[in-house]
Structure 1
Amino acid sequence: MPLAVGSKAPDFTLKTKTADGLVDIKLSDNFGKKQTVLLFFPLAYTGVCTTEMCDQTSGLGDYEQLGAAVYGISVDSPFAHEAWAKANGIKVTLLSDLNRVATKAYDVLFPNLAGVGDTSARAAFVIGTDGVVKYSEQTATPKDLPNFVAVKAALAS
């Protein structure tokens, strides 16, 4: 079961790759400033994950209007994320959880996906400016997408 609504969001610091090199992103840096959407996904370069991140890229303006930062999180390296984003026009900030620290803290570990190893499950969380989980969803299968209408409704509430 993913981390429950009303829980204090576990803080984390994860790496992203930018033109300036590797950069640390700390969740709690958003507390008191903006809401945060965390989109856990299994693996870069897979069909459903590519569709999800491309679709969310096209809707980033909606999230900005709702005062939210959006992060995609998977167990891929920041270098794989950078190449995948470039190849697919993904503008969502992608965070590498190579050591599965955030995946485990949010209780969304998917064991032995397709026989290749433990990955993040597909899940969505909305974290309020107060650092409390306002929305929590783990999809039934990695092929299912989160309910983005409900994610945006949680941001708007």
Structure 2
Amino acid sequence: MAISVNSIAPEFTLKQKTADGLNDVSLKDNAGKKQTVLLFFPLAFTSVCQKELCSVSAGLDQYSDLDADVWAISVDSPFAQEAFAKSTGITIPLLSDFNKEVATAYDVLYADLLGLKGVAKRSAFVVGKDGKVTYSWSSDDPKQLPPFDEIQAVLR
């Protein structure tokens, strides 16, 4: 079961690959400054993940207006994520949880998905400026998209 509302969000530092190279992105960077939406997705280059992340990228202003950053996390390598973002126009930061530590800490890791072991479940969390989880959602169905209207309501 995914971590629950009012829990302290597990801290992490993950890699993001950009044109400038590998960058570290840490949850603590937003502490006291912004809310953070964490979107865990199963795998890059899959149709449902592309639909989700392209849709969020297209509506990123809605999150900025609510003083929130949106980060997407998968177990793909940062290099695969960069290629995925470039080929699809995804503009939100894609963070690599290659070692599966963050998905494990948030308890959103499939034991087995279509024969693939250790893939992140499609999940969404909102972490408040104080570091507490204010929204928690996770699905065992990789085709089910998060309820973005609920996420935005929590951010208001």
TM-score (norm 2): 0.98
Deviations 1:44-99 (A, max 9, x none): 00010010000000110000000001000000000000000000000010000000
| Deviation of 1:139 (Å) | 1.8
| Percent of aligned pairs with the same amino acid | 55
Show the counterpart of 1:120: 120
Show the counterpart of 1:130: 130
- The letter of the residue matching 1:83 is A
CA distance in 1, matches of 2:117, 2:136: 24
Please give the residue correspondences for 1:10-89 in structure 2 after superposition, counting only pairs within 5 Å: 10-89=10-89
Q: Is the 8 A contact 2:128 2:134 kept in 1?
A: yes
CA distance in 2, matches of 1:33, 1:18: 23
- The letter of the residue matching 1:19 is A
SS at match of 1:118: coil
- List gaps (5 residues or longer) in structure 1: none
Deviations 1:22-55 (A, max 9, x none): 0000101101000000000000000100100000
Q: Is the 8 A contact 2:121 2:140 kept in 1?
A: no
Show the counterpart of 1:99: 99
SS at match of 2:80: helix
CA distance in 2, matches of 1:28, 1:125: 15
SS at match of 1:154: helix
- List gaps (5 residues or longer) in structure 2: none
Runs of 4+, deviation exceeding 4 Å? none
| Deviation of 1:116 (Å) | 2.2
| Deviation of 1:13 (Å) | 0.3
Give the number of equivalent residue pairs: 156
CA distance in 1, matches of 2:98, 2:140: 23
| Deviation of 1:4 (Å) | 0.2
| Deviation of 1:140 (Å) | 3.8
What is the root-mean-square deviation in Å for CA atoms of aligned residues?
A: 0.6
SS at match of 2:87: helix
